[in-house]
C-alpha cells in the first residue's frame, strides 16, 4: 500500500471514530435547538399580543411562523439519529411593555445564533447534511435579529400596551379567555381524533401561534359586540364579559 493510501485510510478511520463518538453530542445539540426554537415560537407569539403597533404584531407573527418551520425538521433529525424528543414546557418571559418584549426577543435571537455556530462545527464532522440545515437556521436568525433591532429602535420604551381603561382591559381578557378555552377544546378534540401525530409540546406551541393569528378577528368580534350592546354596562368583569357574550349570540 502506498503512503498516500495509508494516510487516507488513517484519516478516514479518524473521522469515523470522531463521528461515532460525537453522535450522542449532536443529538443533544439538536434537542437543545428543538427546545430553543419551540420556546422562541411561544415567546414571539405571546409578545405579538403586547405590541402597540399593528405592523410590529404582524412582524413578530411572521418571525414566529418562520421559526415554527424549523421545529418539524429538527424533530425529524433527532428521531433519525435514534434520539428521543425532549420534554418541553415553556413559560415565555414577558416584558412590561412592547419595547421590553422586543428587547427580550432580540436577546434570544442573538443567543441562538451563538449556540448554532458551535453546533454547526460539530455537525460538519458528524452529519454534514444536518450542518447545512443548521446553517440555514442561523442565517434566518441573522435576518430576524436585524428585523427585531429595527423594530426596537423604532419603538418607544415608554409605550403603554393600549389605550383602553383598566376596567375595559379586564373585561376583554375575561371574554378572550372564555373564547380561547372553547377554541382550544375544539382543537384538542381534533388533535386526539387524528391520532396525536404531533407531540404534545410541539402541538401546544402551534396552538398558541394559531390563536394569536385569530386575535385580529376576535378584536373585531369584541368591537361588534360592544357596538351591539351599545356600551359596556357597570358590574363585575365576568358579568360584563357575559353580557358581551350574550350580545354575540342573541
Residues 40-72 pLDDT 10s: 999 999 999 888 888 999 999 999 999 999 999
The residue range of the domain holding 215 is 164-250
Same domain, 13 and 72: yes
CATH number at residue 127: 1.20.1260.10
Same domain, 200 and 98: no
Q: Distance (Å, rounded) from C-alpha 135 to C-alpha 116? A: 8
Q: What is the pLDDT of residues 95-135, one digit of tens each?
A: 888 888 999 999 999 899 889 999 999 999 899 999 999 99
- Cβ atoms of 29 and 114 closer than 8 Å: no
Same domain, 146 and 208: no
Say which residue, 15 or 116, is predicted with more confidence: 116
Same domain, 58 and 114: yes
Alpha-carbon torsion (26, 29, 35, 40), positive or negative: negative
Same domain, 236 and 206: yes
Conformational region of residue 150, where left means phi above 0, alpha means psi within -120 to 50, and beta covers everything else? alpha
The residue from 98, 125, 160 where one domain ends is 160
Same domain, 78 and 110: yes
Same domain, 53 and 151: yes
Say which residue, 79 or 18, is predicted with more confidence: 79
Q: What is the total count of domains within the chain? A: 2
What predicted TM-score, i.e. pTM, was given to this entire model?
A: 0.61
Instruction: Indicate the length of the chain as a whole number.
Output: 250
- Cβ atoms of 87 and 78 closer than 8 Å: no
Same domain, 72 and 126: yes
Same domain, 142 and 224: no
Q: What is the pLDDT of residues 129-154, one digit of tens each?
A: 999 999 999 999 999 999 998 898 88
Which residues fall within 8 angstroms of residue 169, CB to CB, at 6 or more apart?
162
Same domain, 86 and 64: yes
Amino acid at each position: 500500500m502506498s503512503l498516500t493510501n495509508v494516510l487516507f485510510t488513517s484519516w478516514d478511520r479518524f473521522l469515523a471514530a470522531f463521528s461515532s463518538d460525537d453522535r450522542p453530542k449532536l443529538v443533544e445539540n439538536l434537542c437543545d435547538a428543538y427546545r430553543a426554537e419551540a420556546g422562541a415560537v411561544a415567546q414571539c407569539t405571546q409578545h405579538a399580543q403586547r405590541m402597540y403597533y399593528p405592523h410590529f404584531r404582524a412582524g413578530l407573527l411572521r418571525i414566529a411562523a418562520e421559526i415554527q418551520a424549523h421545529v418539524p425538521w429538527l424533530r425529524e433529525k433527532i428521531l433519525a439519529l435514534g434520539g428521543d424528543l425532549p420534554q418541553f414546557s415553556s413559560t415565555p418571559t414577558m416584558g412590561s411593555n412592547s419595547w421590553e418584549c422586543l428587547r427580550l426577543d432580540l436577546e434570544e435571537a442573538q443567543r441562538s445564533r451563538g449556540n448554532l455556530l458551535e453546533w454547526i462545527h460539530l455537525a460538519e464532522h458528524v452529519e454534514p447534511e444536518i450542518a447545512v440545515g443548521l446553517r440555514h437556521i442561523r442565517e434566518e436568525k441573522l435576518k430576524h435579529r436585524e428585523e427585531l433591532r429595527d423594530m426596537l429602535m423604532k419603538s418607544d420604551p415608554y409605550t403603554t400596551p393600549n389605550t383602553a381603561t383598566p376596567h375595559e382591559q379586564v373585561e376583554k381578557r375575561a371574554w378572550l379567555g372564555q373564547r380561547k378555552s372553547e377554541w382550544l377544546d375544539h382543537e384538542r378534540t381534533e388533535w386526539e381524533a387524528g391520532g396525536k401525530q404531533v407531540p404534545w409540546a410541539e402541538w401546544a406551541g402551534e396552538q398558541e401561534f394559531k390563536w394569536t393569528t385569530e386575535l385580529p378577528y376576535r378584536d373585531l368580534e369584541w368591537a361588534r359586540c360592544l357596538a351591539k350592546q351599545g356600551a359596556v354596562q357597570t358590574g363585575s368583569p365576568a358579568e360584563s364579559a357575559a353580557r358581551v357574550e350574550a350580545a354575540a349570540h342573541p
